[in-house]
Structure 1
Amino acid sequence: MRLRHTATWVGVTAAALLATSACGAESARSAATAVGNADKIMAALARATDRTENVGSAEVRMSTVMGDGSPITMEGTYSWGHGYAFDVEMDTRAVQMQRLQDAAKIRMLFVDGAYYYDVDPQPSGPLKGKEWMKVDASAVFGEKGAQALTGNTGGGSPAASMRGLKYANDVDDLGKETVDGQSATHYRAVIDREHLGRFKDAYGNGDNLFGSLTGGSDSITMDVWVGPKDLPVRIKQRFGRVTVTMDFEKFGATSTVKAPPAAQTGDVTEELKKAAGRQQG
């Protein structure tokens, strides 16, 4: 199996689903040095964070734009109530996977620190006769970056991302806006490298695959639109050359995301690391 394009599409799709993890798990340790914000903003964000943590999952619609390229859209389930996981579908051609999947849409899971792509069984190689392709997160974000994003810290959840807002510099209330037909309050923050904590190993490291695709990132600009039920309507993040937008369609009561059976899975992590190394070299 040729993996010429693998480094590109794995980096982009992985970034889209993990983008909202920045800073959340570092919030407790960052509190002592947090930049002061208005009490009203802090109270509103605290309510929204608590509500988001409690619901534990959501149906989402996402869009990822790399530089001036066309957006890659995804729809599905995003879960953080019992471990961070997701189950989404994407346009096969948009993520350059038509050589591995004939269908117009391709399904991608994230479970226990690894990505799984629903592919057509291949005639040879690690995917011979397999229905799922596995890629460990370390192939995209490096070993340290993967640990920061996929460990037992809750770092991948929207609630964790919103906690990061409270400890960022320059948090602003931009007022009321209508988003996806709902009235929401728009908040914006810039999270600099100093407050990225160990997440700089994932986002700010130009030596890993994600950093090579985005150019690395010394800061993350994050926008959150909070609706009348104290739940986010939209989260948008910009880092390096990437912009990721997540719209929340429905909260709670989503299906549990499970890893595919091992017998039906082929692991291409090492092949991807080698391919990425050649591209970076």
Structure 2
Amino acid sequence: MAALARATDRTENVGSAEVRTTTEMPATGPVSMNGTYSWGHGLAFDVEMDTKAVRMQQVHAAAKTRMVFVDGAYYYEVDPQPSGPLKGKHWMRIDASAVFGDKGAQAFQGSSGAGSPAASMRALKYASNVDDLGKETVDGQSTTHYRAVVDKAHMGKFKDAYGDRNNAFGSMTGGSESITMDIWVGGKDLPVRMKQRFGSAVVTMDFEKFGATAAIKAPPAAQTGDVTEQLKKSAARQQG
């Protein structure tokens, strides 16, 4: 559809946005994240979320926890711990490979990486069918609602990240044989809302403002403790 092609090009060109995101999974329930997403040079985001909802009260006392994803790694704001890898540290680092596996983590790299709004829009061209569900008002804006299903054979990098039942994400969602995408496109040929279903996971993104966002950078290495290997070993024990 021409309207979706225009929206895909515009989304790719703006490169960043302020976004409200809600992720729902059976194991965690809904988790809301508000902040900045960037996708010009690979997926990156800088968001705040409810500490209790992400079960981080043991390492962070504040009601809200900041999370940064950049250069293929997650960084969680934590309180300095008395011992272990987070001793005296303010940030906890987890490489994406601990969540999505080595191949899945590589899918997020580069300007064509999975996970970004632009990548989701690009995936629509591989959908077996795209339905125009008509006009709807979303966040006070007049939009056109489209729905598409991308099967596993055409998921591309999404398959590496979300379709593997053996990685941590797949074990929580059951893996994904297809992606169902609902996209509401506004008058400026940009998405107003995007909802994606990966297995039993549902991710909804509401776009507040596009472009002109601050650059996203990793926290200082001296303030960061890496727990990637501990998580990988723990996951291996659970699967073994």
**Runs of 4+ deviating beyond 6 Å:** none
Equivalent runs, 1:113-152 vs 2, <5 Å: 113-151=72-110
> Structure 1 residues 125, 109: closer, same or farther in 2, change over 3 A?
same
Paired residue for 1:205, among 160, 164, 167? 164
Structure 1 residue 157 and structure 2 residue 77: aligned?
A: no
What is the DSSP-based 3-state SS (H/G/I as helix, E as strand, rest coil) of the residue aligned with 2:129? strand
Q: TM-score, normalised by structure 1?
A: 0.82
Q: Which amino acid is the alignment partner of residue 256 of structure 1?
A: A
Greater share of residues in helix? 1
- SS in structure 1 at match of 2:124: helix
**Alpha-carbon distance between aligned partners in 2 of 1:242 and 1:155, rounded to the nearest angstrom:** 16
CA-to-aligned-CA distance 1:132-181 (integer Å, 9 cap, x gap): 10000000000011111234534332122111112211211111001111
Q: Which amino acid aligns with 1:66?
A: M
Where does structure 1 lack aligned partners over 5 or more consecutive residues?
A: 1-41
* 1:77-101 Cα distance to aligned partner (Å, 9 max, x none): 0011244210000000000000010
Distance, in Å, in 1 between the alignment partners of 2:43 and 2:170 is 22
Alignment of 1:189-200 (within 5 A): 189-200=148-159
Q: CA deviation at 1:198?
A: 4.0
Report what 2:33 is aligned to.
74
Is 2:144 aligned against 1:185? Answer: yes
Q: Are 2:31 and 2:54, in contact at CA under 8 Å, matched by a contact in 1?
A: yes
Q: Which one of the candidate residues 18, 27, 39 is aligned to 1:59?
A: 18
Maintained 8 Å contact 2:17/2:38: yes
Which residue is 2:2 aligned to? Answer: 43
- Contact 2:41–2:111 (Cα < 8 Å) also in 1: no
Shift of 1:277: 2.0
Match of 1:20 in 2: none
CA RMSD in angstroms, aligned pairs only: 1.4
Deviation larger for 240-249 or 165-174:
165-174
Alignment of 1:1-281 (within 5 A): 42-67=1-26, 70-151=29-110, 153-281=112-240
Could you say if the C-alpha distance between residues 157 and 69 of structure 1 is closer, same or farther in structure 2, counting changes exceeding 3 Å?
A: closer
- SS in structure 2 opposite 1:125? coil
Shift of 1:69: 5.8
Distance 1:72 1:106, change over 3 A: same
Show structure 2 runs of 5+ residues with no match.
none
Aligned partner letter, 2:228: T
What is the distance in 1 between the residues matched to 2:20 and 2:231? 27
What SS class does the counterpart of residue 277 from structure 1 fall into? helix
Letter in structure 1 aligned against 2:34: E
Q: Is the 8 A contact 1:91 1:106 kept in 2?
A: yes
- Which has the bigger relative contact order, CA under 8 A and spacing at least 6? 1
Change (3 A) 1:57 1:163: same
> Does structure 2 retain, via aligned residues, the 8 Å contact 1:113–1:151?
no
Q: How many residues align?
A: 240
**Corresponding residue for residue 22 of structure 1:** none
- Pick which of 86-95 and 49-58 moved more: 49-58
How far apart are 1:276 and its partner, in Å?
A: 1.7
Give the distance between the partners of 2:42 and 2:33, measured in 1 at CA.
21
Q: Is the 8 A contact 2:181 2:197 kept in 1?
A: yes
For residue 126 of structure 1, what is the amino acid of its counterpart?
A: P
Q: Is the 8 A contact 2:100 2:169 kept in 1?
A: yes
